[in-house]
Chains A and B, each alone.
Chain A
Amino acid sequence: MVAPSARQPLTEAQLVARSQQGDNDAFGELVRRYQRLVVGIAYRMSGDAMLAEDASQDAFLRAWQRLDRFECRGAGSFRGWLCRIATNITVDRLRKVRPTVPLEALPLPGGVRPDEAHLRSEETQAVRAAVLRLPAASRAALILREYEGLSYREIAEALSIPIGTVMSRLNYARRKLRQELAGQLAMEQEGR
């Protein structure tokens, strides 16, 4: 049990250790701490709120099932491990559920369809579309860096790739995004 009146919140390593002993409450605390991270990865990888919800649940379930095999290598290692699980599960789901879906058919945030796009600005749509058009490998690296703030090393560990590959994937993703969003970025530069 996680002590309800604990003066100091438990560290990630303590929560992981307790979860490994089968403590549901400790795992619940880990879920609450990292749910935004996992949901964020799943949502930005897929662009689909429903899929993101399901993938997030699956990610935490898989984490629970594989917790025995998790190697705690210090602060933040659980986060990286979770990022890897969330990315893999989302990519798997995207492959199985929707191998080739035209971007226009992708549901917008909150289930808004493209024909209700008045709720979102064109710029926001363009950013979202550009990110979702990236190849999954580059998109994953970009999301972990730009949205989740992981370091290159953490991204490398989460995606099981060398740091050099992280840098080249990020470079590719950013170059593509700059090409796609060139108009917006130019307007922004002029506005400054």
Chain B
Amino acid sequence: MRAQHPTAIRLAAYADGELNRSEANQVKLHIRRCPRCRAELAEMQALSARLQEFALPEGLGKDLWERVEQRLPERRAVPQPLPGGFLRWLPPIGLVASNAMLQAVLIVALCLWALSNLGLFDWPSLPLNWLPAGVQLPSLPIEEAISHLLSWLVAAPLGPGFDSLARTWGMDLSGVFSWLLPSALVFLTFICLALLYLSWLLAYWRQEARSRQHATRTT
């Protein structure tokens, strides 16, 4: 059986090294015994060699970067990937932990308030007894103001503590305000924490989406 001549395209692919090993061997074997294809291949190789005469002029493209750099417009950097590890999760963890701690304090305070109403717990008389034993505030004219301020800072976040604070000012707020004001304060704190968390979450989603979009484009 007479072997078929490879097509010009196949022969060119052989010359260009684009055939796989098996195909290349077939063409190679054919060329060995076919003067016509051998001549064809030689002509292709001669053409390739001759084409190299179309060379680049000396100095063409010299200092190209310097010229390109002068025309480079400012380009906004691609969004940086989010930092990995613990740092990445520090803001949400901090916010959730703050919220949880606040909740715990509130629950404890409410429990103590309930116990005190049942007569099972006595609130220490603020502002004098909350200081550690042996610690005395300096006896200054503003001592009372400082005591009030400190007691407010400590007691205000706690509903029942607010009542004590009121008592230090000689005010009887044992009605609605004794729990409403601190509750509102705590509630506002919750809202602030939740808003901060949501803001972080939105920023996180946006950044993630941009990073993912960029990663899709670059991988």
Contacts and interface: CB of A to CB of B under 8 A. Distances in A.
Interface string B64-78: 110111011111111
Interface in A1-47: 17, 20-22, 24, 27-28, 31-32, 35-36, 38-40, 43-44
A95 B13 CA distance: 31
A22 B46 contact: no
Contact of A171 (B12, B61, B214): B12
Interface in A106-141: 109-111, 123-124, 127-128, 131
Instruction: Choose among B48, B52, B59, B65 the residue with the greatest number of A CB atoms under 10 Å from its CB.
Output: B65
A181 B71 contact: no
B16 A145 contact: yes
A36 B61 contact: yes
A49 B217 CA distance: 35
A174 interface: yes
A31 B68 contact: yes
Nearest to B75: A22
Contact of A39 (B18, B61, B73): B61
B60 A168 contact: no
B51 A68 contact: no
Given A52-B60, A110-B57, A167 B78 contact: no
Contacts, number: 138
B56 A39 contact: yes
A141 to B, nearest CB: 11
| Chain A: interface size category | 35 or more
Nearest to B73: A65
Given A146-B48, A171-B9, A64 B43 contact: no
Contact of A127 (B54, B65, B77, B217): B54
Interface in B37-96: 42-44, 46-48, 50-61, 64-65, 67-69, 71-78, 80
B218 interface: yes
A24 B196 CA distance: 37
Contact of A71 (B54, B69, B219): B219
Given A110-B58, A185-B47, A64 B53 contact: no
B54 A128 contact: yes
Contacts of A35: 61, 64-65
A69 B61 CA distance: 26
Contacts of A60: 64, 68
Contacts of A111: 57
Instruction: Choose among B13, B43, B218 the residue with the greatest number of A CB atoms under 10 Å from its CB.
Output: B218
Given A61-B72, A70-B217, A39 B13 contact: no
Given A39-B61, A49-B60, A124 B217 contact: no
B43 A56 contact: no
Contacts of B76: 22
Nearest to B40: A178
Given A68-B217, A70-B217, A189-B46, A24 B56 contact: no
B75 A65 contact: yes
Contacts of A142: 51
Contacts of B8: 171, 175
B78 A21 contact: yes
B47 A177 contact: yes
Contacts of A170: 9, 12, 16
Given A22-B76, A174-B44, A189-B42, A152 B16 contact: yes
A20 B218 contact: yes
Nearest to B67: A57
A56 B71 CA distance: 13
16 contacts: A21-B77, A28-B65, A43-B60, A44-B54, A52-B61, A61-B73, A64-B73, A109-B57, A109-B60, A128-B53, A128-B54, A142-B51, A171-B8, A171-B9, A188-B46, A189-B46
